[in-house]
Structure 1
């Protein structure tokens, strides 16, 4: 693995340099401060709720508010540089203020899913050693069960309509209380609890934090917990340098197609590394406008944002793009200003990509990344024709190699585990030296994903190594079967796993959801007959389960691990 062939360099256009430029910023705090000064009068973030009401912050306001929050953390909460601050917020104006304030305080951001259960919250807060929690007031009822079991010393509450104009804020809060009853009373806690506005007022009266210039690119910026889709969630240690390098890589790949005049729709959650880097940090760095949607479920929640703003970029996962195109309002009036969509997080089905092109007249540019790589590893050059199913080429400054089970490079065109080396690769897992040693070896990150590389250096993910199904000694990749199922009109969504079989070791099982826009009833027989047309016999599902819905992660990734757990329980006679 010491010698790396780089056939992908020929795929770079004249706009794409194979080498990363010298760093522009010493830290994320420096980037944020400089960007807010340069683009002071521009609108940075607009949060849009389903009824169309909204609030907006300019770059100047974001800069001032994040300064205030940094002062609050350092002087009121008495945090030292390097202390961890958990931010558990949906998309909204409060998120960038809090997150940027954490960076300016020299502290470490711990992104936390707002939908976590109390036990999940306790695990993450204890594991990270978080001392301050910024949480949505919609979930205040979880605090009593959580705080006493953690090291949290201060709690800050923020609302979805935070920083909206007064009348819209009052209306949104009223609707929440009346219809959703999502604003529970705040329990009496043994630690101080403040509203975010009050925390900013306190910080405004304190001395401004001035020592963040001492932050180094190697300093820890983010504890980004893996989604737990393959086991217990672990905190990936991402440095300022990791994220800054990935921002440079994203901007190089975007080239002339991305600028400060852009308007990006952010429906994916900012606490997830995909939206954090691709939406929040990249477009902020450019001086562009970010349209924040607190929740994309149901998908109608996105309608007002697309209708009322000149959206040029959308990031999403396969299920989001599929869901949008099944909405009559979107199919009839796709956004006219759209340049392209960026897909990641999970495999993009070819049928969905082709349909998106037909409906919107724009492409879905697929990329690949991991929590451990901040996240971008590869991307499809925007000036080249679409290569169906490919996740593109490694981004500048990144090396990849495909290896077999003995960690030896495989022949070109053969599947192998994807290994990554580059400036965006994490430092390791927080307090997990054994896991770090297994994942990081001699500077290479073992991704656990199986890929193939063509002669031009373009990569295609075959599947997760752990999701491989072994049927009578033959490798079966669920992604291939799921892509086949997506071509059946009656199938809205599909997931494939392996289940024990006495004759073949494992057998393929497909879980499918009926497409409500197709009158034909989705039958098991029809699914199997369809697969037999396109797949070798050993790949055809032995069993088919029709479901109303499939389990998903917060960003819409279908969770095969949940289906596997159900299948194991079923085999053990527990279901």
Structure 2
């Protein structure tokens, strides 16, 4: 497939370079080492827990400790370059030390959700063939069910307050109130278990790893598992070059608005590709400061971080922004140093974006990305007027195409499946040639998302191809209905799916959550009446389910797949 024109290039204007430069770094290990030397005395990371206690690391400390961890992996654990290392940590000071050490050792980082069940852990560790696991000590009680069924030969435990000053660390470790649990005992395992500080000391006693200079952009850096929101999680193979290219793309789109003087709030989990690239790697590359929040739920956990630090950037998803604005302390005293917020991961509702602008005086710049694309694909230029609902234009170095079900290009302005090609596109799925062949064809990623492009090259996601609801032959896109529902003040959150219907084939069903700050109580009648004002009759939900909460992924994305599974079970006996 060829791209005959690129209307989005004109939208770059004078602020965005149309050509993507090649990174000066040969690998992520090279970038990390150089950055730690350049910004040695600056604070790189500060971890803040809900009671305000915190700990920080400078770039120099991160550089030294990640060197020590690399030596531990190569010399003590005897890992060869390319060996997979699973990291199962919440946001905290331990994460960058460990992740950067993995890269410096020439190994492959396997990011793992700390909240995974033992069954999910076994699946990911066996699939990735990980040999070392670094896990939060809060979840050590899972190890006995997991380790014996995997190839893991060394476990390293890290605390949420790792590297805090001694007194705050002891208080947090002893109380753990914000996790509502005490530390579980470490089970007796057939493999050695060390604390992270012990592992670093062992590494310090060995020679520094020197051969990471041989790493190249084509070498594998991450096995980044897909969120599993549409099926079984698969390991996307992301190379050093994929991430380095995406960092350049992020920095170009951020332009003069991003610098080493910035302070970014990281409430989204670093093990997710959005926060990994946009927060961890991008702002580290700039020499900026990262404020890490171990758990953003409840949203009040973020309060001390925003009150005590000059946060200039926030990344988040629709539910996080919505939740913050429903906090009295945030609405009354929004951060004065904020430049902008970056939205991704799921559709940003227009009502949320408009309210954010009113409350904070800053914009939410929406972008779009995938695990398979490292992740950034498109972004809204910060120096152009806000285009509600748009995910922006393709970032430099990226081509896109919109195609029909026969993979033929659609007319301009018509919806089609979004295809992506560029230097940030994954190598493929780990040990899954059939899935790779289906998703990645001639360098193009078939995203499964339906989008439209306007004459200026700006994209709008219509919906997931698999989430389309077909009502009497008419296409209904859940995003459109959800956006309509979000305009109803009494609705805090909403999700829309299709359910079987004898008359129309499928019918629209909406799950809604009451906004506790609005006195008007939700009713099925009021929701339907609201939708009838703004939607064609076939798009109006036929059934309304009132819920106290909706199922969500670790980054706050509402999981339609879970609601679909409920509906399938409900309708199974009603054929």
Match of 2:424 in 1: 424
1:348 is aligned to 348
Contact 2:43 / 2:56 at 8 angstroms: preserved in 1?
yes
Q: Counterpart in 1 of 2:396? A: 396
- Deviations, residues 360-404 of structure 1 (Å, cap 9, x unaligned): 000000000000000000000000000000000000000001000
1:550 maps to 550
Structure 2 Cα separation of the partners of residues 174 and 401 of structure 1: 54
For the 8 Å contact 1:31–1:285, the answer to whether it is kept is yes
Cα offsets for 1:139-192 (capped at 9, x unmatched): 000000000000000000000000000000011111128983331000000000
2:468 corresponds to: 468
Quote the Cα distance in structure 1 between the aligned partners of 2:246 and 2:185: 41
Aligned to 2:336: 336
Matched, 1:154 2:160: no
Unaligned runs of 5+ in 2: none
1:202 and 2:202 aligned: yes
The question of 1:278 aligning with 2:258 is answered no
Structure-1 separation of matches of 2:158 and 2:95: 9
Cα deviation 1:193-244 (Å, max 9, x = unaligned): 0000000000000010000000010000000000100000000000000000
Q: Which residue is equivalent to 1:320?
A: 320
- The 5 Å alignment of 1:386-535 reads 386-535=386-535
What is the DSSP-based 3-state SS (H/G/I as helix, E as strand, rest coil) of the residue aligned with 2:156?
A: strand
**Partners in 1 of 2:378 and 2:364 — Cα distance?**
14
Shift of 1:21: 1.0
Structure 1 CA distance for aligned equivalents of residues 91 and 23 of structure 2? 29
The TM-score normalised by the length of structure 1 is 0.99
1:321-357 CA-to-partner distances (Å, cap 9, x unmatched) read: 0000000000000000000000000000000000000
Instruction: For residues 476-519 of structure 1, give each alpha carbon's deviation from its aligned partner in whole angstroms, at most 9, with x where no partner exists.
Output: 00000000000000000000000000010000000000000111
Name the count of aligned residue pairs. Answer: 574
Report the alpha carbon displacement of residue 23 of structure 1 after superposing the two structures with TM. Answer: 2.0
SS of 1:31's partner is helix
SS of equivalent to 2:176: helix
Q: Which residue of 1 aligns with 2:225?
A: 225
The 2-side partners of 1:39 and 1:544 are apart by: 54
Secondary structure, aligned partner of 1:69? helix
Does the CA contact (< 8 Å) of 1:139 and 1:182 recur in 2?
no
Contact kept in structure 2, 1:85 and 1:108, CA below 8 Å: yes
In 2, are the aligned partners of 1:177 and 1:183 still within 8 Å (CA)?
no
**Which residue matches 1:55?**
55
Q: CA deviation at 1:4?
A: 3.3
Q: Which 4+ stretches in 1 moved above 2 angstroms? A: 177-182
Q: Which residue of 2 aligns with 1:305?
A: 305
The SS at the match of 1:446 is strand
**Which residue of structure 1 aligns with residue 268 of structure 2?**
268
Q: Which has the higher mean CA deviation after the structures are superposed, 488-497 or 168-177?
A: 168-177
Per-residue deviation at 1:13? 2.0
The residue that corresponds to 2:109 in the other structure is 109
Query: 2:22·2:245 contact (CA, 8 Å) conserved in 1?
Result: no
2:384 and 2:177 map into 1 onto residues whose CA distance is 50
Q: What is the aligned-residue RMSD (CA, Å)? A: 0.9
Shift of 1:442: 1.1
Match of 1:371 in 2: 371
Distance across 1 between alignment mates of 2:259 and 2:154: 39
CA shift digits 1:411-466 (9 cap, x unpaired):
00000000000000000000000000000111111000000000000000000000
Secondary structure, in 3 states, of the residue corresponding to 1:562?
helix
Distance 1:4 1:401 in 2: 10
**Aligned equivalent of 1:193:** 193
Q: Give structure 1 stretches of 5+ with no counterpart.
A: none
